[in-house]
Amino acid sequence: MNDFADLYQQARDAAANAYAPYSGFHVGAALVAEDGRVFTGCNVENAAYGSGICAEGNAISSAAAGGVRKIDSVIVACLDAGECYPCGNCRQLMREFSVDTVVVQDGNGALRVHDFGEILPHSFGPESLDNLPTNR
């Protein structure tokens, strides 16, 4: 059983590998899949700024490549800021894989544990595509 402190350290370790020459903002993420496997990711920026990828998205992509389809928790670490919450796009990426819990640093050495509904309320997800109108 991974506690969040250990996972947060894994996220920090990933953040140390961030490729962030443009923003100088080094972010790491660790996630726990339903089967207990842990995947990590860091942000990877690009000279074409819009082609950069967030830490959370990279961790989620790695998990998906490993066959994961349900993620229990995502832990985010940033080496260059206090409080650091996932961007809107990453919240939506988490939604696809039914993340239950998001953990962030509060900037004062503590972690904040959030239910996913606090992170992305009233969200759009896979089941939102059910019950399509039959007249289309």
- Binding residues for ligand THU, rule CB under 6 A, total 15
Classify strands 111-115 and 101-105 as parallel, antiparallel or unpaired: antiparallel
Tokens of 6: 């250990």
Q: Which is nearer to ligand THU, 45 or 103 (CB)?
A: 45
- Nearest-10 Cα torsion for 38, 3, 45, 92: 80
CA distances from 101 to 21, 35, 71, 74, 88 (A): 30, 15, 9, 6, 16
Contact characters 33-62, ligand THU, x per CB under 6 A:
----------x-x------x-xxx------
56 belongs to the catalytic site: yes
Q: Does 4 bind ligand THU (CB under 6 A)?
A: no
- Catalytic choice (34, 45, 56, 83): 56
The residues that touch ligand THU, with contacts defined as CB under 6 A, are 20, 23, 25, 27, 43, 45, 52, 54-56, 76, 84, 86-87, 90
